[in-house]
A and B are shown apart, each in its own frame.
Chain A
């Protein structure tokens, strides 16, 4: 009867039954009902959790974060010892997570782009090798890769003590000493050190800050130099030579710092049980980083390949017709367009890599899962709080990365006007 509402101008007066029988309102009714049920389910789950915890005599309480942690963490980017709080231990873990994720994202991107491009190469051997790489790493679980690479490090390399005594092993190039715990590498120290910038207990060497500032300045200046060259080219038809300016921008500051502050290498030496003096890069970090990069790199290679294949062949032919070399064609014509296709799936690969880094626990790399979600939860018995905190932290990391990458995506995507 009321199934098809009359289209006449006088709208029928609202009746309650219209919520079900009137198409105009029905979808709204269903949405409201589903939403109420969903809220009921959520509140019931929360209530159930709290009730069950109360039965076990447990409450939700985050004050444990301010108690003394009491345990040591092998890998730390900020100073930490066993007298610090669980909160600081969690921070150490979080920074370790971000550190290995950042290193992993960079390496995976480089690896993925190279492998993706080479897989389309006309060189039969190179293309096949890349196919083998992609298929092997894409189709074996990441955890196995982490364990295999870590096992290779611990089983193949010698113990630190084998670098001592009569039949001592030679250090690689006299500088590096791979051992079954870490690889000892030389560190750079300054004869006339400008000191450190201390923020609380965190000490950042001024040299590192200077290095970063000069690097960023070099990037900005390089853009300006190139833009100027472009302008000149557009008006006169001649592009001034810029390569030596660009080279100088990146090479002169480090050399200057090197000479002014008298930098030199400190070669690690075996003292007591372990190497001292240089930097000991943990095998667990290297194994995790390699595995994450190789694994995610294989996926990125496929994304890059798909992106390149998405660009019409006519573009390549047009570029060749204009006389561009294959390298230029790839860099100036194909890749910029392919980026539009590549970026969105690339974001999700980055997010995967960050979340996968929690497998660090398999090789004893103390990331967020290892400190907050592992030892802290265990020593305090606050599983619920620990897991909730970890979920919140991983969620915020992922959403932040997404947000930043989306801004980038909006910049490179096709502008429609």
Chain B
């Protein structure tokens, strides 16, 4: 009797483990079979990814999820958003909990190689900054010697902070926090003198304060933080799909394709690049296992890169970020989509 129970348990374990194997392999086929894209996002960073009162997610990173879902599944709403903290995000991606991870994560060498991730591009060129209350009377990060600083643990900012203070021969006291929400609370409670993370994140965090004007972001940007969506290493076709979906959004802005004139341009545009992008000629989508209209749907989801930027984090929003490095290369920025050919 005991042996039977034992064998049963063993068999059940074997079955469950068998299911685990399925997480490997062809992500595109899995997403299509599931009918839903699993998208790993920040648990709450206004402007980049945050749920509203009804649980609908919106934001700059969320727009990438929607575009990919639209391109692959034909419906921008078929996304399941999975909030991941700084500590859980890469494990979540590696274990198959999410298909794609647009979660303001910095593209670094060791993450790309040792962590077995593939960053498919950059959707926001950022840098690390410091947020301090105006009442502190600090105007430069160089004056922060001896300060207590809130820092999200498990991030590149944690390492940059240590390097920056060491290089400038200053001391600091770190307060380790797990999420942006916790950082906000600790900072406002005065448990730390300064809060450090990506400058875009600081702007987004400050926008959510009761009195944003009482806080300033110091001028020093102490690191390069190219933020981009990541996928698992090894599934090249899936990486291609996410990469070119992002490029489609960037290219659309470059060529003046917006969600408003998209239909019209797909019929009337004489620009061969636009024709190829929108699938009017050369069925590009087929080359990576999608249909001809994939990019059209991706752009329709929340507009082109510029529209997404303006609607979520741009100067007209409470977050108020200027395009800066994230302008098109034709406008002096770094946004540069590879040719659709």
Contact = CB atoms under 8 A, between A and B. Distances in A.
B116 A30 contact: no
Chain B interface main SS type: mixed
B159 A378 contact: no
A41 to B, nearest CB: 6
Interface residues of B, number: 50
Nearest to B9: A41
Contacts of A370: 153, 176
B80 interface: no
B87 A274 contact: no
Interface stretch (A52-60, A327-335, A405-413): A52-60
A74 B153 contact: no
A383 B114 CA distance: 12
A378 B87 contact: yes
Contacts of A72: 158, 161-162, 172, 174
Contact of A375 (B7, B153, B193): B153
A121 interface: no
A56 B233 CA distance: 8
B176 A74 contact: yes
Contact of B154 (A273, A274, A374): A374
Contact of A30 (B3, B91, B173, B174): B3
A37 interface: yes
A273 B116 CA distance: 41
A70 B163 contact: yes
Contacts of B178: 361
Contacts of A253: none
Contacts of A215: none
Nearest to B194: A273
B154 A375 contact: yes
A251 interface: no
A34 interface: yes
B173 A155 contact: no
Contacts of B109: none
B176 A272 contact: no
A276 B110 CA distance: 38
B15 interface: no
A306 B90 CA distance: 49
A355 interface: no
Nearest to B192: A181
Interface in A343-386: 361, 364, 366, 370, 374-375, 378-381, 383
B275 to A, nearest CB: 39
B94 A56 contact: yes
Nearest to B234: A57
A27 to B, nearest CB: 11
A380 B156 CA distance: 11
B146 A41 contact: no
B20 interface: yes
Contact of A52 (B10, B20, B90): B20
A381 B114 contact: yes
A379 B159 contact: yes
A82 interface: yes
A220 interface: no
A181 B166 contact: no
Contacts, number: 111
Interface in B145-177: 145-148, 153-154, 158-159, 161-163, 166, 172-177
Contacts of A310: none
A226 B94 CA distance: 65
Contact of B148 (A57, A181, A378): A181
A364 B186 CA distance: 11
B190 A159 contact: yes
Contacts of A272: 145-147
Given A154-B186, A181-B175, A71 B147 contact: no
B99 to A, nearest CB: 15
B115 interface: yes
Interface string B188-230: 0111110000000000000000000000000000000000000
Interface in A27-72: 30, 33-34, 37, 41, 44-45, 48, 52, 55-58, 70-72
A82 B163 contact: yes
A165 B147 CA distance: 18
B147 A273 contact: yes
A83 B192 CA distance: 24
B3 A33 contact: yes
Most chain A beta-carbon contacts within 10 A, residue among B90, B110, B158? B158
Contacts of A33: 3
A83 B162 CA distance: 9
Nearest to B14: A44
Contacts of B191: 154, 180-181
Contacts of B189: 154-155, 180
B140 interface: no
Given A82-B166, A154-B189, A379 B154 contact: yes
A148 interface: no
Contacts of A161: 190
B215 to A, nearest CB: 15
Nearest to A162: B190
A57 B114 CA distance: 9
Given A180-B189, A381-B90, A71 B159 contact: yes
A53 to B, nearest CB: 10
A271 interface: yes
Contacts of A273: 144, 146-148, 193
A20 B17 CA distance: 33
B137 to A, nearest CB: 10
B24 interface: yes
Contacts of B176: 74, 364, 366, 370, 375
A70 B162 contact: yes
11 contacts: A34-B3, A34-B6, A37-B7, A52-B20, A57-B234, A74-B174, A154-B191, A180-B191, A181-B175, A181-B191, A383-B91
State the 9 A-B residue pairs at the shortest beta-carbon distance, nearest first. A378-B154, A82-B162, A159-B190, A381-B115, A364-B176, A272-B146, A273-B147, A70-B159, A57-B116
Given A272-B147, A274-B173, A375-B176, 8 more contacts: A37-B3, A70-B159, A74-B173, A276-B146, A374-B87, A375-B153, A378-B87, A381-B116
Interface of A: 30, 33-34, 37, 41, 44-45, 48, 52, 55-58, 70-74, 81-83, 154-155, 159, 161, 180-181, 271-274, 276, 361, 364, 366, 370, 374-375, 378-381, 383
